């Protein structure tokens, strides 16, 4: 008897060959608009997420940002410090969630943004999807999602397994952060495939990509034209963003020099477009590895 004989038949339900557990309907996030931010590791997802959270808050929205990385550094520019992770806090109480209070795992950051760091399993063990599920469950138990307008999941690195894709089960829109280089666009191509697989069974749709820390956008735009995608924002490579990270602040708290004002304006424009823009849905078709290599590679 093959070990595969005991595997459930989930062919085509969450992507070809997937054996992912489907979302418990009781754990759906209701009422808020939910974004999942993806992109290559180190591309600036946390900077993008935190400044978008600050932009949404400045528009009067009640915002919750959930960092989904064991490094738990997604929200430190909003709070000025590294927060403990939900998974570590649960471990401290032997996973008796009823012993926890909201202030044990939620910190109010700049603009009233609620900040949560889900964390992750120890290196080489467990699944990031379990951690995301436990975090959402805890937030719902404490009714912390009841009056929330916007939820942002800041998700680590490339999508290499269903655990990293778990936030897509909750999201309305997926946003990809990229740069104008081969590796970032290659990762974006894989993320597009992951989102499209999830969209077959969940409400998530692709909102577009943001070119981050890039002087030019020609390669990003060429890829988008090829696959039927769209760049919805461009954040230039300016020193103001590096300085804000060093000062543990969002751009909205920094002294208002010319570059900072320009970056703030772009984040505000982007936040408004994500909330109130057209309902245009992108249906890009990711490229096979060899094709994207030929598109972006050089002789």
- Positions annotated as catalytic residues are 40, 45, 71, 158
The H-assigned helical ranges of 150-299 are 182-198, 218-227, 239-246, 258-276, 289-296
The closest alpha carbon to 266, from 20, 26, 15, 48, belongs to 48
H or E, element range at 48: helix 45-58
b/e code 262-291 from CB counts within 10 Å (16+ = b): ebbebbbebbeebbeeeeeebebebbeeee
Helix axes 218-227, 182-198, angle to 10 degrees: 30
- Strands 173-178, 33-39: parallel, antiparallel or unpaired by DSSP? parallel
User: Helix (H) and strand (E) counts for the chain?
Assistant: 10, 8
């Amino acid at each position: 008897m093959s070990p595969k004989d005991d595997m459930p038949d989930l062919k085509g339900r969450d992507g070809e060959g997937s054996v992912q557990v489907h979302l418990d309907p009781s754990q759906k996030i209701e009422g808020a608009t939910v974004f999942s931010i993806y992109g290559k590791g180190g591309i600036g997802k946390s900077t993008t997420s935190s400044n978008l959270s600050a932009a949404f808050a400045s528009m009067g929205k009640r915002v919750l940002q959930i960092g989904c990385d064991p490094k738990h550094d997604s929200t430190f520019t909003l709070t000025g410090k590294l927060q403990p992770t939900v998974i570590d806090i649960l471990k401290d109480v032997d996973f008796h969630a009823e012993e926890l209070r909201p202030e044990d795992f939620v910190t109010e950051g700049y603009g009233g943004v609620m900040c949560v760091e889900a964390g992750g399993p120890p290196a080489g063990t467990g699944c990031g999807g379990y951690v995301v599920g436990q975090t959402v469950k805890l937030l719902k138990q404490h009714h912390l999602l009841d009056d929330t307008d916007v939820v942002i999941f800041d998700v680590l690195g490339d999508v290499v397994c269903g655990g990293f894709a778990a936030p897509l089960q909750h999201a309305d829109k997926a946003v990809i952060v990229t740069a104008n280089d081969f590796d970032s666009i290659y990762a974006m191509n894989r993320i597009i495939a992951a989102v499209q697989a999830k969209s077959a069974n969940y409400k998530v749709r692709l909102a577009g990509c943001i070119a981050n820390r890039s002087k030019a956008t020609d390669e990003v735009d060429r890829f988008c034209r090829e696959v039927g995608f769209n760049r919805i924002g461009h954040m230039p490579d300016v020193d103001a963003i590096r300085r804000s990270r060093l000062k543990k602040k969002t751009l909205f708290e920094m002294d208002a020099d010319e570059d900072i004002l320009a970056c703030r304006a772009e984040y505000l424009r982007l936040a408004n477009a994500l909330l109130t823009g057209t309902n245009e849905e992108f249906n890009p078709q990711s490229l096979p590895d060899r094709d994207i290599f030929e598109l972006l590679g050089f002789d």
